[in-house]
Amino acid sequence: MAAGERRLGPFLTPGVPTSAGGGGDLVLAALGVLAATPAPHGAERPAAEALAAWGRAALPGLDWSVTPVGEAGANVVVTVPGDGAPALLLATHLDTSLSGLPADDAPITGRSDDPGPLHIDGDEVSGPGLGVARGPAAAALAGIALAAERLAGVPHRPLQLLLAGSGTHRSALPSAVPAGPVRPSSGAGALAHLATQPRPDAVLVAKGGPAAVLRAEPGAGYLELTVTGRMGAALAPASADPIGGVLVHAGTVLEAVGRWRVAFRTARGGRPDGLGGELGLGALSGGRPDKPDLLPATLVLRLYAVTVPGDDLAALAGELAAAVRADLARTPLAGCAVEVVAEPLHPAGVTPADAPVVRAAEAAWRRHRPEPPVAVESWTGSTDGVVFRAAGLDTARCGPAASPDPADPRRDRLSLADLRSFAALYADVAVTLATPQA
């Protein structure tokens, strides 16, 4: 390790206080616990139990509970008791985009070695899963603890912090689900919270993003595009339709999808709500790896679509299919069938600019952030905030921005000063909404 660098061990750094009064030390302690246990989508329960066990010992003035979500998933809910219904739900998620299990992540990362533990070097913390979502979660944990300290002895309404399971997007189409325990759908943790916990007045999502308070978020969904020709034998390429098989012509299909993507994005640019559309290709498959002497009949593309208010994913699937058919009609794939299946996850949503949670977050931003908020254009990041907006809850979002480690893109880098700043910001919003206003 470089001079001045520290590693957080498997649970807590020796000598780091866990009282909320330390503020920044609590951020470090929470990061150590969150980084100790992998939290794959739908299998967060061990991480949830470890976090709650630490919290009950380190912050006994708060109420800690673990709620199962699906067969192996879980939510962690931290409550600051008070009178009435919760004034604010501070929400983040427990699972990470990469599972934290190198062998499982290898098809995405191209690597099967361990990405290594959490590192601290001066103001910088680096490690796997910090951007999604351990860094914002640590700041939110510190923020709720600081809010509880400030509210001690003051009449106030309850506050809750949700670390939701199944917060990262995952496809539930049968063709995409691996063998093993049934995995909850995207947003299942947030939906379970709404179904089992008191309804809050508002939600503040602690999630990384642009240097601004977001009050609008795009929707998201998956598209499965299948091009079907005729199977054949590799030793006789002309036996397939198209000649050579559909895989040989994958580039033609990708070009057709790319042209539609450009039109899709252009049509959703320059919106007053700052949202944008996007289409990304995340998986491509065809044939059997153990039988490459046969030319498969199908080529399957899996796409992630980011949508704006008014978009209907089923209609977009039809538009994409029609565009690809028209393009392929002029190619050797003219005789192939084209089908697109839509898997909507969540619709886009917008919170009014004058909502109390938006005003409180913007005021806290001015107090705790060193720079004014940026103007956000064509924003394409979708979180559980869309779940809460769909439930009729005013929702805002802000959080620290992570950057990838240039030596290992599986690891993220964050500023500890930023994390502490957002912990104070979250505490301010919570206290403002939880206390009676003059």
The residues facing 88 across adjacent strands are 159
Q: What is the pLDDT of residue 2?
A: 39
**Does residue 289 have a pLDDT over 50?**
yes
**In this model, does residue 21 exceed pLDDT 70?**
no
Provide the pLDDT confidence category of residue 137 given band limits of 50, 70 and 90: very high
pLDDT at position 13 over 80: no
Q: Edge-to-edge strand order for the sheet containing 202-206?
A: 63-69, 73-80, 159-164, 88-93, 202-206, 394-398
C-beta separation of 224 from 300 below 8 A: yes
Q: What's the pLDDT band for 15 if we cut at 50, 70, 90?
A: very low
What pLDDT was estimated at residue 180? 60
pLDDT band at 177, cuts 50/70/90?
A: low
- What is the pLDDT at residue 27? 95
Strand bridging mode 219-228 / 278-285: unpaired
Give the per-residue pLDDT at 182. 59
Burial 32-51 (b: 16+ CB within 10 A, else e): bbbbbbbbbbbbbbebbebb
C-alpha dihedral, 138 to 146 to 400 to 39, nearest 10° = 20
d(CA 394, CA 392) in angstroms, rounded, equals 7
The C-alpha R_g of the chain, in whole angstroms, comes to 23
Average pLDDT over residues 75-86: 97
- What value, to the nearest 5°, has the Cα angle with vertex 298 and ends 294 and 300? 125
Of 268, 139, 276, nearest to 216 by C-alpha is 276
Average the pLDDT over 36-50 and give the result.
Answer: 93
pLDDT (0 to 100) of residue 181: 57
Domains of the chain (ranges; CATH) run 5-215+351-434 (3.40.630.10), 219-346 (3.30.70.360)
Mean pLDDT of 60-68: 96
**pLDDT band for position 123 (cuts 50, 70, 90):** very high
Number of other residues whose CB lies within 10 A of the CB of residue 67: 19
Residue 10 pLDDT greater than 80, yes or no: no
* Residue 374 CB coordination number (10 Å): 9
pLDDT, average across residues 402-409:
92
Residue 176 pLDDT = 66
Q: How confident is the model at residue 147 (pLDDT cuts 50, 70, 90)?
A: very high
Q: Which two tokens stand for residue 159?
A: 């506050």
173, pLDDT greater than 80 = no
The pLDDT of 4-15, averaged and rounded, is 33
- Report whether pLDDT(254) > 50: yes
Mean pLDDT of 417-437: 95
pLDDT at 436: 77
Predicted confidence (pLDDT) per residue in 361-398, tens digit: 999 999 999 999 999 999 999 999 999 999 999 999 99
The pLDDT tens digits for 271-282 are: 999 999 999 999
pTM listed for this prediction: 0.90
Nearest to 419 by CA among 8, 19, 30: 30
Across all residues in the chain, what is the average pLDDT? 91
CB 351 within 8 A of CB 345: no
Q: Is the pLDDT of residue 302 over 90?
A: yes
